[in-house]
Structure 1
């Protein structure tokens, strides 16, 4: 099958969906591809409730991201039997989780995303190809001329587009088309970042990824999963930088590295009565307090914890066999954590094991206990016209003055510089958790140094290993993708190149005006927030 379009977006995660929506709103036709069965990436197929800034209900995101959040809430109001108080709450939080003011089931986000895209599919302006992988890229000098995709439904699909946006989880299009990219940890000598690695760059030093799963609690029932084949290995594993076995209620605080112990819960009734605390409530995606009593027998929580972070090998820069090994090992770790909780974990009420914990892969669109895809924190990153460094946003580097003001801002974001344990260089290394200021997204970080019609649209912009730790979160990835989609559409309409838009003050001002007035972007933080230390 041969297809032509204005814009091809490879990867249907949050950045890819936002890129497609922006381009469609600006009048372009789009083909959107995704490897998994679900669009939405970390919010759906990876099953991660949103990590967001403290001001997200009023500022700190594009208007379309706020609409996505509202559509998720409205989905619950339309279809779920909510309590009167939950239905009346403007900031409805179906799961009552502590990680965000909006914790919800992945299917609710999927429904919202499909609803946002539906008008354009109906109009024939958007083609969505799920179950579709990149295979080959054709190029002529600095321009991509076409891609070949492998679709589970359509077989070989050849696409020719004017612009190609990479929103894949690992930056696969960057690799296939041969543009300049980096991965892993840069050298402190090269970037000047206080928390970059000493000595030479370490491209295999990549953050842990996590195969998440959901579970509920069925009082008096036994849902113990079969003993995973690698259970003995993970049960005995004690990282050198950990206070004890990985499969334990004790881990470390990311910011101080001090040991901490958080049990699953403290009261039996908290699992059935919606009053859970500690690990159970952190990423809880369904709370019985939200729904009428007859609807839900208990809470559902999402397990994305230090105990199932996988850091024994990277996904980029290794052979296919090594990558597949690490993916399977990550699955085994998560299944082992589940089995350990069901059989050996110390209980809050004495004894060991919670056989009542039921895995809910059915809520995640999965044929087994785990999410459809692993939660990936780190991608290949373009070598861009401008690279965001720790010294631009880190509180220590900025000495409390607030983040760097970028004249080419195309959005804003806010999160701590949060680097999970990583594969290290030979040996895994522990957390790097750094205070920073609310920041802007510079257009220069979205423009490759050489490629003419390729743009990054996810976690693959020109950040460093360090600053990726805060530019990778849900609303920021959405903003990046939306900016990339808008830029591609704007360039098609005006005939200007992305490089010219950034490099010409009048053209840059015109594009920023488009973002803020037509698409509802926020390009700067209020001063009272920009200087906050997060």
Structure 2
């Protein structure tokens, strides 16, 4: 979450920027530092047909069972339901669920296989009692409060409520969720604390999608990586336009701009990006010279964090940060000095290439 930034006095931003500030096509009209993406308390389950592993009814189940999100565009109904907002179209979309089914259920995505961790059929017999699926779904995204920019007590309160949401989702699946055979509930779903390494069966820490972001020497904007915005700015053909080329690139990434529902009341913001690079300037704070961000806390905006936050890109950022620290120490240079001198930057890029780091997309 970028916890070191306030501790070290490093300048940072949170939430969403105003369109007047970034000139981004999908930015908010007004800046809101408290408008942050949902976080999730994930959990793992398997399914033992014919058995009953129903958990105790969660304390807040009545609230979450009837909870209808207030968002723009509108959410289609209750959060605990198999109909949600399709991220790209903004329209209601039906999902399926069947622990014994395939990738689709009655023509809809089967949530069981969506984040299935273990497919028992791919292992030796009796290795696993059944498939194991990770529950990190739209239905347990928590967006009623933030973990950043609030007191410790408030943060703990939101984590507690997010846990209640996840447990309520499980209880709903076990007792009320519609089944393909016309019945309700899947009591054979078994919470797996052993997988999570916790007593309550939920993840040890929240899955956080949005961090504090450094105020960087260079900030990646939507016009650099967003397909539509890039096409508008460059006036190139939409079929051939490419992301901005960064001469100080230290990595690559590719994922659509994917912002989950936020605490400010925004529904999904999801649209096409272009295969992009990770600029070194986005890893350098504007003032502090001995701190290097290593994940989703680099110099992006609320919008562009939607594609730089994904795990493979975070790993790439981490690789670049580790290589940068090593190179700077060995050469007795500050990270900023490396970027400011062409020869030093080129030497560093040669160094990271030798570590197997790709810094540009190969042209087809």
The answer to whether the Cα contact below 8 Å between 1:269 and 1:275 also exists between their aligned partners in 2 is: no
Is residue 2:213 matched to residue 1:381?
Answer: yes
SS in 2 for 1:216: strand
What do the CA deviations read for 1:111-157 (whole angstroms, capped 9, x no partner)?
xxxxxxxxxxxxxxxxxxxxxxxxxxxxxxxxxxxxxxxxxxxxxxx
SS in 1 for 2:76: coil
Q: Offset of 1:527 from its aligned partner?
A: 2.5
Is residue 2:141 matched to residue 1:305?
Answer: no
Q: Offset of 1:341 from its aligned partner?
A: 0.5
Aligned residue in 2 for 1:455 = 292
> Is there any run of 5+ residues in structure 2 with no aligned partner, and where?
232-237
Is residue 2:360 matched to residue 1:524?
Answer: yes
Candidates 62, 65, 72, aligned match of 1:235:
65
What do the CA deviations read for 1:480-504 (whole angstroms, capped 9, x no partner)?
1111111111111111111110010
Aligned residue in 1 for 2:86 = 253
Aligned residue in 1 for 2:125 = 293
Matches within 5 A, 1:100-111: none
What do the CA deviations read for 1:72-114 (whole angstroms, capped 9, x no partner)?
xxxxxxxxxxxxxxxxxxxxxxxxxxxxxxxxxxxxxxxxxxx
Q: Offset of 1:356 from its aligned partner?
A: 0.6
* Whole-Å separation in 2 of the counterparts to 1:299 and 1:290: 10
The answer to whether the Cα contact below 8 Å between 2:214 and 2:299 also exists between their aligned partners in 1 is: yes
The answer to whether the Cα contact below 8 Å between 2:101 and 2:110 also exists between their aligned partners in 1 is: no
Candidates 327, 332, 337, aligned match of 2:164:
332
Q: Offset of 1:260 from its aligned partner?
A: 1.0
> When the two structures are superposed, what TM-score results if normalisation uses the length of structure 1?
0.64
The answer to whether the Cα contact below 8 Å between 2:222 and 2:304 also exists between their aligned partners in 1 is: yes
* Whole-Å separation in 1 of the counterparts to 2:256 and 2:362: 18
Q: Offset of 1:297 from its aligned partner?
A: 2.7
Is residue 2:53 matched to residue 1:223?
Answer: yes
The answer to whether the Cα contact below 8 Å between 2:42 and 2:136 also exists between their aligned partners in 1 is: yes
Matches within 5 A, 1:352-367: 352-367=184-199
Q: Offset of 1:275 from its aligned partner?
A: 9.2
* Whole-Å separation in 2 of the counterparts to 1:287 and 1:270: 12
The answer to whether the Cα contact below 8 Å between 2:254 and 2:307 also exists between their aligned partners in 1 is: yes
Is residue 2:254 matched to residue 1:417?
Answer: no
* Whole-Å separation in 2 of the counterparts to 1:257 and 1:209: 20
Q: Offset of 1:364 from its aligned partner?
A: 1.8
SS in 2 for 1:527: coil
Matches within 5 A, 1:3-18: none
Q: Offset of 1:219 from its aligned partner?
A: 1.2
The answer to whether the Cα contact below 8 Å between 2:104 and 2:110 also exists between their aligned partners in 1 is: no
The answer to whether the Cα contact below 8 Å between 2:96 and 2:104 also exists between their aligned partners in 1 is: no
Is residue 2:243 matched to residue 1:403?
Answer: yes
What do the CA deviations read for 1:18-38 (whole angstroms, capped 9, x no partner)?
xxxxxxxxxxxxxxxxxxxxx
* Whole-Å separation in 2 of the counterparts to 1:456 and 1:296: 39
What do the CA deviations read for 1:477-534 (whole angstroms, capped 9, x no partner)?
11111111111111111111111100100000000000002x1110101223xxxxxx
Are residues 472 and 198 of structure 1, via their aligned partners in 2, closer, same or farther at CA, if it must alter by over 3 Å?
same
SS in 2 for 1:410: strand
Aligned residue in 1 for 2:179 = 347
Aligned residue in 2 for 1:195 = 26
Are residues 252 and 514 of structure 1, via their aligned partners in 2, closer, same or farther at CA, if it must alter by over 3 Å?
same
SS in 1 for 2:353: helix
Aligned residue in 1 for 2:235 = none
Matches within 5 A, 1:26-105: none
* Whole-Å separation in 1 of the counterparts to 2:46 and 2:247: 48
Matches within 5 A, 1:490-509: 490-509=327-346
SS in 2 for 1:454: coil
Aligned residue in 2 for 1:484 = 321
SS in 1 for 2:154: helix
Is residue 2:95 matched to residue 1:262?
Answer: yes
* Whole-Å separation in 2 of the counterparts to 1:314 and 1:419: 15
Q: Offset of 1:269 from its aligned partner?
A: 4.1
Is residue 2:239 matched to residue 1:440?
Answer: no
* Whole-Å separation in 2 of the counterparts to 1:269 and 1:357: 11
* Whole-Å separation in 1 of the counterparts to 2:246 and 2:278: 8
Matches within 5 A, 1:107-118: none
SS in 2 for 1:433: strand
Aligned residue in 1 for 2:36 = 206
* Whole-Å separation in 2 of the counterparts to 1:354 and 1:479: 40
The answer to whether the Cα contact below 8 Å between 2:222 and 2:230 also exists between their aligned partners in 1 is: no
> Is there any run of 5+ residues in structure 1 with no aligned partner, and where?
1-169, 529-534
What do the CA deviations read for 1:353-409 (whole angstroms, capped 9, x no partner)?
111100112112222221111100011010010000000000001223110000000
What do the CA deviations read for 1:315-373 (whole angstroms, capped 9, x no partner)?
11112221111111110100000000001111111111111100112112222221111
SS in 1 for 2:80: coil
Give the structure with the larger strand fraction. Answer: 1
